[in-house]
Structure 1
Amino acid sequence: MIRKSKGSIGLFAVVAFVAALLFPMPVSAEGESYIIATDVTYAPFEFQNEEDEYVGIDIDILEAIAEDQGFEYELRPMNFSAGLQALETNQVDGMIAGMSITPEREEAFDFSEPYFDAGPVVAVQEDNEEIQSYADLEGKTVAVKVGTVGAELAEEINQDYPIEINQFEDSATMYEDVLAGHSDAAIEDYPVMAYAIQQGLALRLSTEPESGSSYGFAVNKEQNPELLEMFNAGLVNIMEDGTYDEIVERYLGESPEAAANNGFFGLLERNFGRLMTGLVRTLILTLVSFAIALLAGTIIGLFSATPSKALNIIADIYVTILRGIPLIVLAFFMYFTVPQLLGIQITAFMAGVITLSLNTTAYVAEQVRGGIAAVEKGQLEAARSLGLPYGVSMRKVVIPQAIKIMIPSLINQFVITLKDTSILSVIGIVELTQTGRIIIARSYQSSSMWIIVGLIYLIIITLLTKLSNLIERRLVKNG
């Protein structure tokens, strides 16, 4: 049981307890237990099914190999480019995510023997008869997924037939860009694109697949060689006993199971539980981060309001730096760079809490400073003239008035922090927005799902706005 100590130590202990209790993240254990990164928005190789289970060709192959070789693993879902960074910084032990073996990647990672051969293919809207070859793409806009062989092919096409390239973090968003008419075509690995079309996506293949692209399981360079050996040995075994062929047939056979499509309300009904789980994660991330930021921001805000020049400078430096760093950059820095520099491991949840707290603290500090500055100077002077010390004058006279001024802006900052949690999906936190992406990867109903996610945010934010107005009216009435 965690006992709450004084000050920030106790507060961070509570944060750690909440993180461990509600969002346990995989941690390498002694023996044969590993953390494996994957991209769960890449059907049919990895995605989350209706029962919230991670499935797909890659996931089933990994499970079969682990059972064959007798090791345990935990999956850490994140987008593809973040997974590569997690592997490179040893935040995970391995990665399986439809990852093509390329000379460039072999310089940074060690790969298993190829377990699947695929090649990129161009797809366009199903009624688009204009694009039939690479030459027809000249002057057009092409959507690709960041860091993939498809993105490399687009760059090669661009050298011969100038095109505009739009880059996306996941396949579902890339497809939607084509369907919406923002891009004329998309380039994706053939089995992934073919599976999406089989599921009812209104696209057609306009070129033949390229050859020579093979998928491999990856570990960091010269790290976890025993895991790589077990993967290779297990791969041989499941290929020999027919398990491998059964897995591939399950997802790429002639009649794969189509995604259910019952319209807006059917989509909401089928996924309501997991959306609420994502919302709870979003709210807890927000509450924990904002509580820390409120404490730290008040202290730094008071630094700004004191007569001490040294404290003023400290507050100004903090606010300037933290407000100047984009939140996504800060998230990557906390989750990938800091552990590498300090030689420590940090969970995605804790990295997210720290990121949001550091960012929100800077804004809360400015709101505290502004609230104090809005109180008439005569209030402090009158208190001091009565013989009250500076600290007592601030605590008893100025700050109570400043709080009434700050309440609306603080609740507004809480709303902003809540919306900022969506950025943390880049480091593998499955909050509300990432939950929506995972559902889209399975259902290919992006328009309906983003409406649902938007409505959930709208309802929560409207309730918070009403709360802000209620508190403000009561403060004015009692003031």
Structure 2
Amino acid sequence: MILRAKKYVAALLVFVCVCMIFSPLTAYAAEDSSQHETVKVGFFAMDGYHVMDEEGNRSGYGYDFLRLMARYWDVDYEYVGYDKSWDDMQQMLEDGEIDMVTSPRKTPEREEKFDFSRPIGTNNGILTVRSDNSTIVDGNYSTYNGMRVAFLNGSSRDKEFADFADNKGFTYDPFYFDTTAEMEEALQSGNVDAIAATSMRKTNNERIVDKFDSSDFYVIVKKDNTELLDEINYAIDQMNEVEGDWKTTLYNKNCNGVQREHNKKLNNGLPILHKVPPK
């Protein structure tokens, strides 16, 4: 009976020792797991910047930037909104449906609603026409007169292009679309004559006839979300220190404006245009 009791006590002591040895590791693992966070990222479709194929494989400048940033930030991304417009992205961020979105430039209106990271690239506006358009001549602004120009809803490029046109002395008619794909379809179908958009958009069977307004672009978060912004800025600082000229590398890989055959099939009929009188 005594021998059995001794064996029981010995087994109990061994069990207690094992618990004491492994409990700190368990606690550490739990703590480490809790530090690994998931962030909802706005991922709107734009050829060259955000691309997702039919199998769900992602690519583009914005996607590569996020993957690079994850080397310096213990994070998982949840990509949200590929079927949404750029205008939708900003509203979703403001409403708290997503945590961050990349690519915007600073405007007074945006700075009232969002906080901006360190710069993550530089772009400019580009005016493109179809490759076979011989009527509009590069830099000959009299040939620009009366152009039907496509713009992206929610973008600030329309205001900059208005200043550009005023400075160069030509007139145009603006048309607005929800996605860059719709703008491209309108151009290739002849429903507009030109597209005024960011140089981050990869051109498709197009010719660049002019450039305007170069500026930096950023990651944005909801106003006063300082904790998330600090993590983003820390990762960008590490990238700037360790990764060399990563911005140029990503641009040359994804958005270098190499002209490709327009292989997207147009929907039946012409896309709907939203015409707005010039201001």
Q: TM-score, normalization: structure 2?
A: 0.72
Q: Give the CA deviation at 1:46.
A: 0.8
Q: Does the 8 Å contact 2:49/2:60 carry over to 1?
A: yes
Secondary structure of the corresponding residue to residue 82 of structure 1: helix
Q: 1:183 aligns with which of 192, 201, 205?
A: 192
| Residue 167 of structure 1: how far off its partner (Å) | 0.3
1:77-119 CA-partner distances (Å, limit 9, x unpaired): 22111111101111111112x2222222112111111111001
What SS does structure 2 have at the residue aligned with 1:117? strand
C-alpha distance in 1, partners of 2:263/2:228? 34
Q: What residue in structure 2 maps to residue 138 of structure 1? A: 145
Q: Which structure shows the higher helix fraction?
A: 1
Shift of 1:246: 4.3
* Counterparts of residues 273-284 of structure 1 (less than 5 Å): none
The one-letter code of the counterpart of 1:222 is D
Q: 1:182 to 1:248 in 2, by over 3 A?
A: closer
Match of 2:174 in 1: 165
Q: What's the C-alpha RMSD, in Å, of the aligned pairs?
A: 2.7
The one of 150, 161, 185 equivalent to 2:157 is 150
Residue 52, structure 1, aligned to residue 56, structure 2: yes
Question: Does the 8 Å contact 1:46/1:56 carry over to 2?
Answer: yes
Q: In structure 1, list runs of 5 or more residues that go unmatched.
A: 1-28, 262-442, 452-479
- Map residues 6-21 of structure 1 onto 2, 5 A cutoff: none
Is 2:236 aligned against 1:227?
Answer: no
1:79 to 66, 72, 85: 85
Distance, in Å, in 2 between the alignment partners of 1:85 and 1:123 is 28
Secondary structure of 1:67's counterpart equals helix
Q: How many residues align structurally?
A: 227
Per the alignment, in what secondary structure is the counterpart of residue 176 of structure 1?
A: helix
What is the CA-CA distance between 1:215 and the residue it aligns to? 1.3
1:83 partner SS: helix
Give the gaps of 5 or more residues in structure 2. Answer: 1-33, 269-279
Equivalent position of 2:29 in the other structure:
none
Provide Cα deviations, 1:406-463, integer angstroms capped at 9, x if missing partner. xxxxxxxxxxxxxxxxxxxxxxxxxxxxxxxxxxxxx74132xx36xxxxxxxxxxxx
Q: Are 1:119 and 2:121 matched, yes or no? A: no
Displacement of 1:157 after TM fit?
4.8
Letter in 1 for 2:253: R
- Aligned partner of 1:10 in structure 2 is none
In the alignment, is the contact (CA less than 8 A) between 2:87 and 2:153 conserved in 1?
yes
Contact 1:38 1:75 in 2 (8 A): yes
Separation in 1 of the partners of 2:161 and 2:255? 26
Residue pairs, 1:35-434, within 5 angstroms = 35-39=40-44, 41-49=45-53, 51-77=55-81, 78-96=84-102, 98-131=103-136, 132-133=138-139, 134-157=141-164, 161-192=170-201, 195-196=202-203, 201-207=204-210, 209-223=211-225, 225-242=226-243, 244=246, 246-252=249-255
Identity of aligned residues (%): 22
In the alignment, which residue of structure 1 is the partner of 2:30?
none
> 1:68 is matched by which residue type in structure 2?
Y
Supply the distance in 2 between the matched residues of 1:118 and 1:217 (Cα, whole angstroms). 14
Amino acid at match of 1:99: P
State how far apart, in whole Å, the 1-side matches of 2:250 and 2:54 are.
Answer: 18
Q: Using the alignment, how far apart are the partners of 1:167 and 1:143 within structure 2?
A: 6
SS of residue paired to 1:182: coil
Q: Against the structure 1 CA distance between its residues 108 and 70, is the aligned structure 2 distance closer, same or farther, given a 3 Å change threshold?
A: same
Contact persistence 2:130–2:194 (CA under 8 A): yes
The alignment partner of 2:200 has SS state of helix
Q: 1:111 to 1:446 in 2, by over 3 A?
A: farther
Q: Distance in 2 between matches of 1:220 and 1:444?
A: 37
Give, in angstroms, the shift of residue 226 of structure 1: 1.8
Query: Quick check: 1:100–1:148 contact (8 Å CA) kept in 2?
Result: no
Superposed displacement of residue 163, structure 1: 2.1
Aligned partner letter, 1:227: L
Give the Å deviation of 1:174. Answer: 0.6
Secondary structure at 1:100 match in 2? coil
List per-residue Cα deviations over 1:110-155 (Å, max 9, x = no partner): 1111111001111112232332345533322111111213222343
When residues 154 and 246 of structure 1 are mapped into structure 2, their CA distance, relative to the original with a 3 A threshold, is closer
Instruction: Give the drift of 1:43.
Output: 1.9
Q: Distance in 2 between matches of 1:239 and 1:248?
A: 15
Please report how far the alpha carbon of residue 240 of structure 1 lies from its aligned counterpart in structure 2 after TM superposition: 2.9
Q: Which amino acid aligns with 2:196?
A: I
Whether the aligned pair in 1 keeps the contact of 2:49 and 2:255 (CA below 8 Å) is no
Structure 1 residues 105, 136: CA separation in 2 closer, same or farther (over 3 Å shift)? farther
**SS of 2:146's equivalent?**
coil
